[in-house]
Amino acid sequence: MRAITEKDLSTFYNLLLEPGTRDWERQQLVKAKEQLAAGQTSAKVFAELEHSLRPLAVRNNLTPAVTDFYQSITSNDEQSQQYDYARHQAALTDSRYDHAIFAGGCFWCTVEPFELRPGVISVLSGYTGGHVDSPTYDQVTSQTTGHVEAVEIVFDPNKMSYADLLKIYWQIIDPTDDNGQINDRGDSYRPIIFVHNKQQRDLAEASKLDVVEPGRYSKPIVVAIRDAQPFWPAENYHQEFYKKQPKHYRAMERSRRQFLWFQKVKVKLTRRIK
């Protein structure tokens, strides 16, 4: 573990006040705080804290804020870097660019397919469509806030059209499943296209018809098209997950691709049998 800084200590004390911190996590933090108050060195205290958090950290089972803290004290690499929210906001308000919001299941798997395309300026993971302001990840995944996990995409319409983004979207989701996506179940993983204006709505509805009419799927297309609602950024840990946890992401993305491929093959086989 690297040397502990004043910034680490400040973050640590803020975690004690973080409402999203789980009881077990808070117990470990309080224990560490008491050790510091008793005069133990920060290096020793944080080493013990890292050891207690490690079993859940390696299973990605800590709350996002605690995960960020854990990664910051155990590494200096990309995992601990802060997402540049200001950069995204600046792009969002730039008159040269347009933006889109898509919900397609877990946002861990819906950033890379868009972010690496020419003309895409920025992609932010977040929550939208619900009735709670500034929701946390735990609140959203409790399925009680009405929010879905989604991505907000800022793009240059001279290089990437909204219609092209829609084509990508339909390729990475199961449009017949309105109770989640692939292995992620529940309302917070519903596939929804959120539109900002009539032009986007018309294009979204046309693209949906393009999916329905060829009869590519044996089940109804259930993706909703709704007016855009406030978009709340997700915690730092969730931003650009494919960069922070490449092995975990690749395993998830491979499973997703295999599921979607098998679904298409199954439909083709069903048609031949009929």
Q: For 126-179, how does the pLDDT look when each residue is reduced to its tens digit (9 = 90+)?
A: 999 999 999 988 899 899 999 999 999 999 999 999 999 999 999 999 999 999
Q: Which tokens hold the place of 79? A: 């995992």
Residues of the chain with CATH 3.30.1060.10: 95-255
The predicted-structure confidence for 27-45, as pLDDT tens digits, reads as follows 999 999 999 999 988 888 8
Question: ∠ CA(204), CA(257), CA(137), 5° rounding?
Answer: 70
Confidence of residue 77 (pLDDT cuts 50, 70, 90): low
Distances 205 to 81, 85, 198, 222 between C-alpha atoms, Å: 38, 31, 10, 12
Closest CA to 237 of 229, 245, 249: 245
Alpha-carbon span 141 to 136, nearest angstrom = 9
Q: Which tokens hold the place of 6? A: 């004043």
Residues with catalytic roles: 106
Residues present in the chain in total: 274
Question: How much is the pTM?
Answer: 0.75
Alpha-carbon span 85 to 55, nearest angstrom = 30
Under 8 Å between Cβ of 209 and 196:
no
Alpha-carbon span 100 to 228, nearest angstrom = 9
How far, rounded to the nearest angstrom, does the alpha carbon of residue 94 sit from its chain's CA centroid? 23
Range in 83-97, 180-194, 252-266 with the lowest mean pLDDT: 252-266
- CATH number belonging to the domain at 95-255, selected among 3.40.50.2300, 3.30.1060.10, 3.10.290.10, 3.30.70.20: 3.30.1060.10
12 phi and psi angles, rounded to 5 deg: -60, -50
